[in-house]
Amino acid sequence: MANLQKIEVAASRPYPVFLGVRLEDLGEYLQTRQTLGSQILVITQPVIAELHGERLAEGLKDFKVDIINVPEGEGEKSLDRLSSLTSEAVRLGVDRSTLVVALGGGVIGDLAGFFASVFMRGIRFVQVPTTLLAQVDSSIGGKVAVNHPAGKNLLGAFYPPLAVWTDFSVLASLPWNEVQNGLAETVKHALIADADLFAFLEQHQEQIKEREQGIWREMVTRSVAVKVKIVSQDEREAGIRALLNLGHSFGHALETEMEFQGISHGQGVALGIVAAAGLAQARGFITEAEVERIVQLLKSFGLKTEVYDKSAANLLHLMEADKKNQGGRKVLILPKGIGQAVVVKDCNDEEILSAWEKVIR
């Protein structure tokens, strides 16, 4: 256990992100946490449980393990699902010493983490991300949430996990549309903080699409390093952490408008990155050639760079619910070249409408 690769996240409760570990070894790590009880509650989805549940259970054989399966879909991040989780947890005898294991992608990580943050005023949990999106982004940073009809992730908390346990081998079974979600966030990380990573993605497009193991390991590790560095400097999004929302203000509005149906988070973020890049170009923050590099990289991975038959005015209205907004002003993250980004607090509605119109067909 001493030789495990890990990156420490500085937080109100610091925690490690373990990289390249095995699902089967999680139990051995947890045995070192002397204050844990004997019960573990695994919150997952049926497909994930079928693919990876047996391996996880092998390592947890010395614990009492209960499993709650949640249906798939972003719509499950709801107060109704939170209520049903609570009822089931009470039935299973979950108490303050129980550890929650979030086995799945971003939806499970957000939902299980938020459940852990509020059940009996907070019980511990471990993130075990099984998608590329979750491994490079959503499992790291301690943000947990559920959605509300008025907007995505409006009800949430900053609640650090006990640890993040990242097994790269689980990515082999991912369908390509799930891979795309993680690639969108990886491109975002490169744009805001690592120009060399952006060039790496450009240079290794084919190996990434062919899932070359060594290339994927380097891509994930470098993307995780960007996320960890930023959240360690700004746990509660009071400053630099806001940069991680590049593309999200636009993307979340599109996801909300479509009621989280027919569009993935990654596709929404990719479209949002293009819209933000267009606004940044209009402000002189980024060149036309750099915008074209961004668009071409996203396209090479099959990510969304335009949307059809949408109302720019309606999408602008939905952006009013964005959590970054301050005093009625829309706050946006814009790329500044490739490898940097800035927080912009004076974007007017005409600029944002123009950005939307550039990506609506």
Q: Which of 52, 222, 245, 255 is catalytic?
A: 245
Name the helix (H) or strand (E) containing 249. helix 248-257
Q: Which of 52, 152, 188, 265 is catalytic?
A: 265
**For this structure, is 237 an active site residue?**
yes
Alpha-carbon dihedral of residues 32, 36, 38, 42, nearest 10 degrees? -100
d(CA 299, CA 280): 19
**For this structure, is 317 an active site residue?**
no
Name the helix (H) or strand (E) containing 272. helix 265-282
**For this structure, is 6 an active site residue?**
no
Q: Which of 227, 304, 330, 358 is catalytic?
A: 227
Q: Which of 77, 81, 248, 293 is catalytic?
A: 248
d(CA 76, CA 81): 6
What count of Cα atoms within 13 Å lies in the side-chain half-sphere of residue 288?
0
Q: Which of 3, 61, 121, 350 is catalytic?
A: 121
**For this structure, is 202 an active site residue?**
no
**For this structure, is 348 an active site residue?**
no
d(CA 268, CA 260): 10
**For this structure, is 299 an active site residue?**
no
Q: Which of 52, 81, 143, 358 is catalytic?
A: 143
**For this structure, is 310 an active site residue?**
no
Q: For residue 200, with 0-12 CB atoms within 10 Å meaning exposed, 13-18 middle and 19 or more buried, which class applies? A: middle
Q: Which of 74, 76, 178, 185 is catalytic?
A: 185
Q: Which of 124, 252, 330, 336 is catalytic?
A: 252
Q: Which of 52, 189, 241, 336 is catalytic?
A: 241
Q: Which of 76, 178, 235, 237 is catalytic?
A: 237
**For this structure, is 121 an active site residue?**
yes
d(CA 338, CA 329): 26
Active centre residues (catalytic): 121, 143, 185, 227, 237, 241, 245, 248, 252, 265
